[in-house]
Amino acid sequence: MHNFKVKSLKRIAPDTILLTLQPKRPKDWFQFSPGQYVAIGFKYHGRPSPMRCFSIVSSPNNKVELQLAMRLAGEFTNSIAELEAGEAVFVYGPFGNFVIDEQLDRNVILIAGGIGITPFMSMIRYASEARLQLPITLLYSNKHQTNIPFYKELLELEQQNSHFKAVFFITNGGIDKLNDELSIPGQISDDKLNQLINHRYNRFTYFICGPRGFTKNIKTMLAKHNTDPTRIITEEFTPTSQTNSLSTAPKLSISRMTYYLTGASLALAIGLIMMVDLARAVPKLISVESKQQSTTSQTTSSISDQKQNSTTTQNNTASSSSNSNSNSSSTTQTKNYQPPITSVS
């Protein structure tokens, strides 16, 4: 756990706040990658609140502040909005693999639905600060033109970083108050995506973050155009209603969970993520060993598998013709085999 305190709270859109935290002591600071998230909690009338996950908005280059943005959509986030400067916030993490891999992702399209912009802000800020020439295109969908978190900053970042382009989609109402060249009325549709991508779907890596329905729609569109599934990386969140553990504290309870990642309960998710991250930190041959014991074929479409730090595949032609189980396994494993490609080192 890292001990932080509130530095400031700022409303950046009608229903969105930017929470800026400072580490209490230098040792409470931690390294993170753009796109990762943390779990936070705080003391609410002297009692610990539940923990909730939020993507980090700030760039890792900003080593004095940790910024999180959240939509005010429940008691948890509304309670955060009431915090005052100096109040303690407990931070766990960072977590997640929703990060750009410089080796694999050389032309990136970020697709955000509403507050799904948060992990992308960290990526775009970092890329601009580091002056990376990584081409980044942001497709950012919001309901109303008057409620676009980080709109001005994104325009500024576009001016600063010639490799970054943003396109704003407004699903309800006009776009007359926005920059004409960058704004499109309506949802991100197949036709619009086609125009932007120019039918060259497999030239890009897609990072998608938004509500579940939004993410699913975009994935369906990309799949329709035979986009390589390993080029589609998603992070979902959605409002939900779950009673939290503070029900014993009358009037002080926070009864709605407004944000969750990966669909699991938070405590379990944190535990699992920590274990997975730990496992990924050390190159292992688990996948081969497990294959020997099981006929379960290794999936090639799982993004989490693709993002692992260490994977092993085995191609066994000797056994493929004599054993049906091996044959089935071998076919999948052959797909996983990566042939040698020389690239700029």
Q: Residue 99 or residue 117: which is nearer to other proteins going by CB?
A: 99
Q: How far is the CB of 60 from other proteins (least distance, A)?
A: 6
Q: Which is nearer to other proteins, 314 or 323 (CB)?
A: 314
Query: How would you class 176 by CB atoms within 10 Å of its CB: exposed for 0-12, middle for 13-18, buried for 19 or more?
Result: exposed
Closest distance between other proteins and the C-beta of residue 316, in Å?
A: 5
Min dist. Cβ of residue 165 to other proteins (A):
15
How many CB atoms are located within 10 Å of the residue 200 CB? 9
Cα gap 115→150, rounded to integer Å = 10
| Chain residues that interact with other proteins, rule: CB under 8 A | 31-33, 60, 100-104, 106-107, 126-127, 130-134, 162-163, 202-203, 283, 285, 288, 292, 309-318, 336-345
Biggest CA pair distance of the chain? 69
- For other proteins, give the closer residue by CB, 80 or 136: 136
Q: Side chain identity at 244, as an amino acid letter?
A: N
Q: Which is nearer to other proteins, 131 or 177 (CB)?
A: 131
Q: Which residues contact 60 (CB under 8 A, 6 or more apart)?
A: 31, 32, 33, 34, 122, 126
15, two tokens:
């229903």
Q: What residues are paired with 73 via a beta bridge?
A: none
Closest approach, Cβ 141 to other proteins, in A, equals: 26
Token pair of 332, please?
């999948």
- In the complex with other proteins, the residue whose CB is nearer, 322 or 337, is 337
Q: Where are the beta strands (DSSP E) in 57-105?
A: 66-71, 88-95
Q: How far is the CB of 170 from other proteins (least distance, A)?
A: 31
Q: In whole angstroms, what is the distance from residue 197 CA to residue 207 CA?
A: 14
